Amino acid sequence: MAYKKTEQYDEDVTAGLIKTYKESIDLLGEDSEREGLLKTPERMAKAMQFLTQGYQLDAHAILESAKFHEDVNEMVIVKDIELYSMCEHHMLPFYGKAHIAYIPNGYITGLSKIARVVDVYSRRLQVQERLTHQILDAIKDTLNPQGVAVVIEASHLCMMMRGVQKQNSVTTTSAFSGQFEKNETRSEFMKLISATLH
């Protein structure tokens, strides 16, 4: 029995991207008809749709799908959430980790939903600064917590592979709301995401 991989992609989008990527390969001086590149435009078309699938997802709906009433008001932290995104300036990847905390105000959400919110916004053409704030705003608007904190650490291939070519550089962005605007709460969060507790 032959191997068959099933994935679903928009046929019109795929066809348009295949044509564009085929032309791009030829413009770069390659032969899009040679054996090794024959299926490359199709693979690129599907890869880009996968890498930008966040446009089809709703972060608020994801959080609402596992929103529970709970009388707790201690900090909830999900740290070291892997993220992969695409720099909108160069269409090159950036990747790293997100550390997210919120202080409930009557409602909590499933822990996996926090990670899914990261995917919703990272699987788009992005800048790290906006990504950080979009994650914070989605949690703040849906759960109405006492505060939200988001810190992202990422390496950008647009800085590593081209331009200044600094392979060891890491960019850190942060956003805080509510209780996390207070130095004491923010310091506790920063200490906890830096600690090795397990």
Whether 35 sits among the annotated catalytic residues: the reply is no
Burial profile 172-188: b = 16 or more Cβ within 10 angstroms, e = fewer: ebbbbbbbbeeeebbeb
The one catalytic residue in 49, 87, 99, 179 is 87
Which of 90, 146, 153, 188 is the catalytic position? 90
The active-site residue out of 42, 146, 158, 188 is: 158
Active site residue 87: yes
Q: Is the CB of residue 152 less than 8 Å from the CB of residue 172?
A: yes
Catalytic residue among 99, 126, 156, 179: 156
Q: For residue 128, indicate whether it is catalytic.
A: yes
Active site residue 90: yes
Active site residue 158: yes
> Which of 89, 129, 167, 181 is an active site residue?
89
- Give dist(CA 98, CA 118) in Å, integer: 8
Structure tokens belonging to residue 159: 């800085």
> Angle between the 128-143 and 111-122 helix axes, to the nearest 10 degrees?
140
In 3-state terms, what secondary structure has residue 71? coil
The C-alpha atoms of residue 103 and residue 3 are separated, in whole angstroms, by 48
Q: Which of 88, 129, 167, 181 is catalytic?
A: 88
**Is 126 annotated as catalytic?**
no
Q: How far does CA 137 lie from the centroid of its chain?
A: 14
Q: Is 60 a catalytic residue?
A: no
Catalytic center residues: 87-90, 128, 156, 158
